[in-house]
Amino acid sequence: MKKEADYNNWNDRKKVLHKLDASQVYFRERQIWWCKIGLNVGYEQDGKDSWFERPVLILRKFNQFAFIGVPLSTSIENSRFRYRFNFGIDNPENVALISQIRFFDGKRLNMKIGTCSKKDFSEIRKAVREMFP
């Protein structure tokens, strides 16, 4: 169970994020970044570590400030709402959590860690479209 202190910590971090200038963050579709996604409610995917970060695949860039992203995990489970793939040599197998797709502000991005292959990116986009018949 999440502790109230954890929510307070995330709230303090979120106040710092809100004040950042995101105009210096340059991101593109297919890139994978460490993203400060926060401490969320219920079954929503949380970030890890003191900044509540998790790798996120940039699925659709709207402008220089905002995008739709898919959080990633290393927890391998089979589901039609998960897509397994690898990115980079040093990275373990990852899973795109299709059901956790959401809108993000570029201020949440910390560091680029990889790029999704064109083939995997196409399959992930296809899985997202199939989620909304």
Tell me the CATH number at 67: 2.30.30.110
Asked whether the predicted pLDDT for residue 42 surpasses 70, the reply is: no
Q: What is the mean pLDDT of residues 83-105?
A: 84
Alpha carbon distance 91, 69 (integer Å): 19
Domain housing 10: 4-131
Structure tokens at 71: 């959080």
What total number of domains does the chain contain? 1
Question: Which residue type sits at 44?
Answer: E
Question: What one-character DSSP code corresponds to residue 43?
Answer: T
Report how far apart the first and last C-alpha atoms of the chain are (Å, whole number): 34
Tens digit of pLDDT for each residue in 52-70? Answer: 899 999 999 999 999 999 9
